[in-house]
Amino acid sequence: MSRNTMAHAFDCISTEDSVRISSEALSMSGGTIVTLAPGLTSHKPNVTVKSILAYTAIGEEVGWENSSRGTIPAKSEDYEFAKNFWTLTERLLAHGRLKPHPISKREGGLDGILDGLNDLRDGKNSGVKLVYTL
């Protein structure tokens, strides 16, 4: 891929810092960042930040049973985005242009998770997915 051409980012962390980092990664002409948290903005004027919830990506209204939250209406643009995103992701994975983090299998089940979190905090793990079997 040529430099300075990235126009879209999907920010799964969705904090002010992660949006700033994503904004800097986009091309100088700007682009769009999609986050999982509403209300975030970019410091770059040519970068648009949109939020999406997994609920709206399925293309159907979602109700909250036994809750005062009411319903989340279906959003066709979120459904179309999700459909295009997963089609593109599948293609990039199949061609080796997108690679998941390597897996680090750990012992200890649920009790071992705290050790893994401590290792992450202490900088002993980076760029790996910690997996614990029950």
| pLDDT for the residue numbered 75 | 85
Q: Residue 116 falls within a domain, yes or no?
A: yes
Query: pTM for the complete prediction?
Result: 0.51
Distance CA 64, CA 69 (A): 6
Query: Are 12 and 34 within 8 A, CB to CB?
Result: no
Q: Residue 121 falls within a domain, yes or no?
A: yes
- pLDDT tens digit string along 43-88? 999 999 998 777 788 888 877 666 565 777 888 988 998 999 999 9
- pLDDT tens digit string along 7-36? 999 999 999 999 999 999 999 999 999 998
Q: Residue 40 falls within a domain, yes or no?
A: no
Domain range enclosing 113: 100-134
Query: Are 70 and 77 within 8 A, CB to CB?
Result: no
Instruction: Count the domains in the chain.
Output: 1
| Average confidence (pLDDT) over 87-92 | 95
Q: Residue 111 falls within a domain, yes or no?
A: yes
Q: Residue 107 falls within a domain, yes or no?
A: yes
Residue 3 has pLDDT above 80, yes or no: no
Residue 69 has φ and ψ, to the nearest 5°, of -70, -20
